Amino acid sequence: MPVAVIDIGTNTTRLLVAERDADGGVVELDRRTTITTLGQGVDRTGRLADEAMDRVAAAIAEYRRVIDRLGAERIVAVATSAMRDAENGAAFRDHLRDTYGVDARTISGDEEARLTFVGATAGRADDRETVVIDIGGGSTEYVVGRPGERPEFHESTQMGSVRHTERFLKSDPPTEDELESLAEDVRRTVPRVEPQHGIAVAGTATSLAAIDGAEAVHGYRLSLAACERIAAMLASQTVDERRRVEGLHPDRAPTIVAGAVILTESVRTLGLGEVEVSERDILHGAAA
């Protein structure tokens, strides 16, 4: 029987409808992503903006139609950084439950990290100590462990593509001083761990892989040099110019520079020469 998982994040609202195969794996029936930027202004005001909630509600309405069409009898909905931080987050959750029958559970950064690790490492025949880097709009999670085992270390940080765009990048395109302040903050925040392997999930990583020319994003090896080159290229452009970059969804243009800097400095600080990009993340972890 299919299960539907909805992830209400700071920058995107996403849907996965899936079922288990005979071996217990997760088989995708439908997967959708809508850039809703729920975290718009939350870092400054402490509240979800009306227009941001409207964007999420519209996405949930569409997803509900997909869920009903595919016959998913169970809906698992999780809400992350923006909903955690906003004083009106609980009221918005009540609205989604009462209007669309989607009862979103606001999860902690620790739970977000654990589910992401499960999703990113499930079914891997790899015993290396691995860090999973999940760059969201309002938070970035680092989870370290060996695939198939309980994570040994995890840290959820108040660092994200939307949050750090609003905090640091005031100019269009951003100035060198703005970029260096952002990079310094990232370097101070990345945990001091020494993994053998890295997996990067979520929209920043998949976008950089696509910009780098990946024919298949899932499993693509994104080098530190490529991260540096792409981050510099995006930072030299205005938002309108970024909207026309091949491989980048136009709606990610306003926040991709901060995300790219977070990924680049994370890879560098963790001592990795590259990261493996994965399309399996918290959605698959929650489904499992």
Mean pLDDT of 183-203: 96
Residues 6+ apart with CB under 8 A from 10: 37, 38, 39, 42, 80, 81, 82, 136, 137, 138, 139, 160, 162, 163
Pairwise CA distance, residues 195 & 40, whole Å: 33
Mean pLDDT of 169-174: 97
Residues 103 and 156 both lie in one domain: no
Is residue 210 very low, low, confident or very high in pLDDT (cuts 50, 70, 90)?
very high
Domain assignment present for residue 252? The answer is yes
Give the pLDDT confidence score for residue 171 in this predicted structure.
97
Give the pLDDT confidence score for residue 205 in this predicted structure.
97
Give the pLDDT confidence score for residue 157 in this predicted structure.
92
Per the CB < 8 A criterion, the answer to whether 168 and 258 are in contact is yes
Domain assignment present for residue 118? The answer is no
pLDDT (tens digit per residue) in 214-254:
999 999 999 999 999 999 999 999 999 999 999 999 999 99
Residues 29 and 163 both lie in one domain: no
Angle among Cα 159, 33, 262 to the nearest 5 degrees reads 20
Q: What is the CATH number of the domain that holds 34?
A: 3.30.420.40
Give the pLDDT confidence score for residue 24 in this predicted structure.
64
Residues 222 and 90 both lie in one domain: no
**What is the model's pTM?**
0.88
Q: What percent of the chain has pLDDT over 70?
A: 99
> In the chain, how many domains are there?
2
Taking 90 as the threshold, does the pLDDT of residue 168 lie above it?
yes
Residues 91 and 177 both lie in one domain: no
Residues 92 and 134 both lie in one domain: no
Residues 97 and 132 both lie in one domain: no
Residues 204 and 249 both lie in one domain: yes
Domain assignment of residue 193, given as a range? 125-285
Mean pLDDT of 84-90: 91
